[in-house]
Chains A and B, each alone.
Chain A
C-alpha cells in the first residue's frame, strides 16, 4: 500500500499526462468533443424521464438528474478499466513504470468529467429551488466514490489480463447493478415496500446506494438514511479499494508474461 502511494507520488507527472491522454483520446475526431461528457447523461435522463412518465412511475427530476450523473462516473470508469492494462500491452511489455498508473489515470480522467457535470447539475438544481444540504457530504461522497472506482478498476483491469471474459460480462453486470441501485427510483420506496430490516441492510450494502444518499443529501437536501445503513455502505467502498490494491499488487508481476 505504502509503495503504491510512493510510486504514484514519484510519477505524478506521468499520471497527469496519462489522464490528459485519456481525455484527449476519448473525444478525438468527434464534432461535439468534450460536450459529450454532458450530452450522454442528458440524453439518458431524457429517455428515462419520458418512459418513466409514460409508465406513470412518479420520480422527481432532481433525483433522476443527480442519480444518472453519479452513476455515469462509475459506469464510464469501469467500462474503460477492462482495457486499462490489456489496451496498453505495448507499454507494459516495453517500459517499466508503476502499472497502477494506468487504471488510476482512467479513474481520474472520468473524475474530471464528474466534476464538470456536477457544476452543471448544481446550476440546474439552483433553478429547481431545491435546498442544498451538508456540503461536507459532497466531499465525502466524491472521495469515497473515487475509492470505490479505483478499487474496482484495479480489480477489473488486472482480472481482464488473465480472463478476457471480464470485458464481456461487465456490461451485463453493470445493468444488474444499475437496477438494484436507487438511480431512477427513490430508496424510500424500497424501504417502504419491504419491512424486513435485514433486507434494508442488504440494500445498503451496495456501496452506490450509500454514496447516492450522501450526494442527494448534499445536493438536494434529501434526508440521510439511518447511520447503521449508510456507514457500512460507505465502508464497502473503502474495502473495495483495499481489495483492489492487494489483488493488483499480487497480479502485476505477471502482466508482461500474460499479454
Chain B
C-alpha cells in the first residue's frame, strides 16, 4: 500500500481544514475523496474533500491574453510556479488507537501536516463502522454542494465496499440518507438525483 501525499495543511478549524498543494500533486485528490491527516502515532483525522480552488495571479491572468501558450509554459505554471491549489476538507471523524469515531476531531490538524489520500481499505474501514454518523457533518452546511459531495463520496465508497465484498453498503447508505433527509423534500430529491447520475 503506497501512501499518496496530496499536500500539506494551510489552515484548519474544528469542522474542517484547507490543504495547499502544488498543481502537479493535484492528479491524486478529487472532489468527494476521503483523506486522512496522521497527527500522532495513534491519532488521525479523517475528512472529505469538498472544494478544490485553483487560484490565479497576475501572471496567469496576463498569460490568458496570449494567443497560444506553449506546452512548456503551461507546465511551468502548473508545476513550478508557487501558486498553490487550495483543497477544502470537511472533518468527518477521527481515529484514536484502533477506534474510529464519527465525531468532530478533538484537535484539528496543525500547519504543514501532511495529508494523505485514503486507500480503499481505509475508506471501507472508516465508512463501514457504525451507522453513517459522519453524514451529519456533510449535511450540516447546506451552503456547500452537499448533493454533489454526497454523490461523489457514495460513488467512491461504493466501489471500495464492493471490491471488499460488501455490496449492501451503498443501499444502506442511501437508506440512511433518506432517513436523515426525508423532512427536506427538495434536498433529498437533489441528493437522489445526483446519486442517480452515479
Task: Tell whether A and B belong to one assembly.
Answer: no
B residues at A contact (CB < 8 Å): none
